[in-house]
């Protein structure tokens, strides 16, 4: 009989990224990262904040100013939630929550402050040894992202970042240090967060300054190609250096249903899926560039430069598991007048009239998660890991120092039920890390007041506050789910 339950060893977890959580800017020998350079003006109104979240890219002048602005506090990703100093108490809370796995990223600029340094920074290595040691002491598995958007800014200034193949060598040198030091303690690795992000947020994903690119599309895809090669080389290295390598491929999953059963809309949906999602996973999980991309590339005037051996490298080094972020879904149509909303990384998404949206405008679609789990498993037949999912919204600390976040509980419930159903559909889903398990600085708007956590952090958009952590109602609810392995869902 088919069992409707989570596997016994299912990895219930939570996720953050170093640039959004750590702070400790320039402490312990850390160099400046590309994410340290993103400016936020506390006088911007909400409309400006959200417009900038989607459209603002780095400018040459903005980057220059950021590097000179050492002491300026209006760079929220320099302060995060001070996880760098507060991680012992945060891990105690995560232990109390019962987490089985914790996803965070490693800051490249803490290990190699400039990216091209001859020797790694011992203090940076020690920090991660302590942090990872603390997680293991508490029986929490580690899911480490090697690059979550941030790279040492020096690599951009001196070499052009991902546009330059040399960056692959610097990256590999960094990964070798990680494998040497943490190869036996980290359980799951992701070479890149959301490798398709470059197409949507160029500074985050590719560390490119749009205004400086002669052929913008060409530069984006050449950067992505170098990231594919870097990922394959991580896999190649993992086979030599790790006892039980588990290296994943991750995308931001943009699920896009046909808006109608009109053949043109169905075809549009196929094209949207290929262009935004499958291209990236096809390269990393199947090991080759899919033929369908030739038409897209031709239309954009893109001609990717392959070096000798690239094709074989990709073919021989495919991912061990497939991972993705999933927040909402959208629809595909050729109807230009279709109603719009927004979503993760996209300012304009076609709205699904059958779904509700959250306060920011992102649709809420639990069944969509079951759909993408089925689609990805059908296509790749590899274990799946949901690396990000959650509800970001505005919250104010309530009486009794808590948040009654029944809306988050119902979002989780809907998505957890969908996961359980997908497992019953036969999908090999190994884990789930709720995004921003503890409130962190939001990546798009750069604010604190868009919160995802089951733990509230008392900082405002300007970094004012005690920094104290408080449990929300969803903390107790999620704890129960983990304790019972989702039995009552």
Q: Which residues are catalytic?
A: 194, 388
Region binding ligand BG6 by CB under 6 A among candidate stretches 86-94, 184-192, 235-243, 437-445: 437-445
Residues 265-304 that bind ligand BG6 (CB under 6 A): none
Residues 310-329 that bind ligand BG6 (CB under 6 A): 325
**DSSP-assigned beta bridge partners for residue 416:** none
* Beta carbons within 10 angstroms of residue 436's beta carbon: 27
From 191, 109, 118, 111, select the one nearest 156 (Cα to Cα).
109
**Which member of 444, 453, 463, 486 binds ligand BG6 (CB under 6 A)?**
444
Report if residue 443 touches ligand BG6, rule: CB under 6 A. Answer: yes
For ligand BG6, the closer CB: 151 or 252: 252
Report if residue 106 touches ligand BG6, rule: CB under 6 A. Answer: no
Region binding ligand BG6 by CB under 6 A among candidate stretches 181-189, 254-262, 373-381, 441-449: 441-449
**How many residues lie near ligand BG6 (CB under 6 A)?**
15
Report if residue 80 touches ligand BG6, rule: CB under 6 A. Answer: no
CA distance 300 to 42: 38
CB of 436 to ligand BG6, least distance (A): 6
Q: In whole angstroms, how large is the CA radius of gyration of the chain?
A: 21
CB of 4 to ligand BG6, least distance (A): 30
CA distance 419 to 431: 10
CA distance 400 to 47: 32
Backbone angles phi, psi at 325, to 5 degrees: -100, 145
The dihedral region occupied by 334, where left means phi > 0, alpha psi between -120 and 50, and beta the remainder, is alpha
One DSSP character per residue, 177-202 reads HHHHHHTTT--EEESSS-TTGGGT-H
What is the per-residue binding string for ligand BG6 in 243-262, x denoting contact by CB under 6 A? ---------x----------
Two structure tokens written together for 464: 């004012």
CA distance 416 to 477: 12
CB of 56 to ligand BG6, least distance (A): 12
In the bound state, the residue with its beta carbon closest to ligand BG6 is 444
For ligand BG6, the closer CB: 31 or 392: 392
Report if residue 442 touches ligand BG6, rule: CB under 6 A. Answer: yes
For ligand BG6, the closer CB: 149 or 179: 149
The H or E element spanning position 203 is helix 202-206
From 167, 175, 69, select the one nearest 115 (Cα to Cα).
167
**Which member of 22, 90, 194, 273 binds ligand BG6 (CB under 6 A)?**
194
CB of 446 to ligand BG6, least distance (A): 8
Handedness of CA 7, 484, 328, 268 (dihedral sign): positive
**Which member of 450, 451, 469, 471 binds ligand BG6 (CB under 6 A)?**
450
CB of 75 to ligand BG6, least distance (A): 16
CA distance 294 to 119: 41
Two structure tokens written together for 41: 């003006």
**Which member of 56, 107, 154, 193 binds ligand BG6 (CB under 6 A)?**
193
Report if residue 33 touches ligand BG6, rule: CB under 6 A. Answer: no
* Beta carbons within 10 angstroms of residue 95's beta carbon: 16
Q: Any idea how long the chain is? A: 489
For ligand BG6, the closer CB: 17 or 302: 17
* Beta carbons within 10 angstroms of residue 301's beta carbon: 10
Region binding ligand BG6 by CB under 6 A among candidate stretches 115-123, 298-306, 398-406, 439-447: 439-447
Region binding ligand BG6 by CB under 6 A among candidate stretches 21-29, 128-136, 331-339, 440-448: 440-448
Region binding ligand BG6 by CB under 6 A among candidate stretches 44-52, 373-381, 442-450, 464-472: 442-450
CB–CB of 186/102 below 8 Å?
no
**Which member of 17, 186, 319, 384 binds ligand BG6 (CB under 6 A)?**
17
CB of 354 to ligand BG6, least distance (A): 23
CB crowding 222-261: b at 16 or more within 10 Å, else e: bbbbbbbbbbbbbbebbeeeeeebbbbbbbbbbbbbbbee
Residues 396-435 that bind ligand BG6 (CB under 6 A): 435
Residues 343-382 that bind ligand BG6 (CB under 6 A): 344-345
From 20, 66, 49, 109, select the one nearest 209 (Cα to Cα).
66
**Which member of 161, 205, 343, 392 binds ligand BG6 (CB under 6 A)?**
392
Footprint of ligand BG6 on this chain (CB under 6 A)? 17, 20, 193-194, 252, 325, 344-345, 388, 392, 435, 442-444, 450
């Amino acid at each position: 009989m088919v069992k409707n339950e989570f596997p016994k060893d299912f990895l219930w977890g939570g996720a953050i990224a170093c640039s959004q959580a750590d702070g400790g800017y320039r402490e312990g020998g850390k160099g400046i990262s590309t994410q340290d350079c993103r400016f936020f003006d506390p006088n911007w109104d909400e409309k400006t904040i959200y417009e900038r979240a989607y459209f603002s890219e780095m400018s040459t002048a903005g980057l220059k100013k950021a590097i000179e602005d050492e002491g300026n506090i209006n760079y929220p990703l320099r302060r995060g939630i001070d996880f760098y100093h507060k991680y012992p108490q945060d891990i105690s809370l995560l232990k109390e929550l019962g987490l089985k796995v914790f996803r965070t990223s490693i800051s490249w600029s803490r290990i190699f402050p400039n990216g091209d340094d001859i020797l790694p920074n011992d203090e940076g290595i020690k920090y991660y040894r302590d942090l990872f040691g603390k997680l293991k002491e508490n029986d929490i598995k580690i899911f480490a992202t090697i690059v979550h958007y941030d790279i040492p800014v020096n690599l951009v200034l001196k070499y052009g970042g991902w546009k330059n193949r040399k960056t692959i060598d610097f990256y590999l040198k960094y990964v070798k240090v990680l494998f040497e030091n943490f190869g036996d303690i980290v359980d799951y690795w992701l070479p890149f967060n959301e490798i398709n992000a470059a197409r949507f947020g160029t500074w985050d994903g590719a560390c490119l300054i749009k205004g400086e690119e002669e052929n913008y599309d060409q530069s984006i895809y050449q950067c992505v190609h170098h990231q594919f090669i870097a990922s394959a080389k991580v896999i190649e290295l993992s086979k030599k250096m790790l006892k039980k390598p588990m290296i994943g491929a991750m995308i931001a999953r943009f699920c896009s249903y046909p808006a109608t059963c009109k053949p043109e809309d169905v075809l549009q949906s196929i094209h949207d899926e290929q262009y935004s999602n499958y291209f990236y996973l096809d390269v990393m999980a199947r090991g080759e560039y899919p033929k369908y991309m030739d038409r897209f590339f031709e239309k954009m005037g893109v001609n990717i430069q392959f070096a000798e051996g690239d094709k074989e490298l990709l073919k021989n080094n495919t991912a061990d598991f497939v991972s993705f972020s999933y927040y909402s879904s959208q629809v595909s149509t050729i109807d230009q007048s279709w109603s719009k909303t927004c979503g993760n990384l996209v300012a304009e998404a076609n709205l699904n009239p059958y779904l509700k949206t959250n306060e920011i405008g992102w649709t809420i679609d639990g069944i969509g998660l079951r759909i993408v789990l089925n689609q990805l498993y059908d296509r790749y037949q590899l274990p799946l890991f949901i690396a990000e999912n959650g509800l970001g919204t505005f919250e104010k600390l309530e009486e009794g120092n808590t948040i009654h976040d029944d809306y988050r509980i119902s979002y989780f419930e809907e998505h957890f039920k969908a996961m359980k159903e997908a497992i019953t559909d036969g999908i090999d889903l190994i884990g789930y890390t709720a995004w921003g398990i503890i409130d962190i600085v939001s990546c798009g708007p750069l604010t604190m007041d868009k919160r995802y956590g089951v733990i509230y952090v008392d900082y405002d958009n300007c970094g004012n506050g005690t920094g104290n952590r408080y449990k929300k109602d969803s903390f107790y609810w999620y704890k129960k789910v983990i304790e019972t392995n989702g039995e009552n869902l």
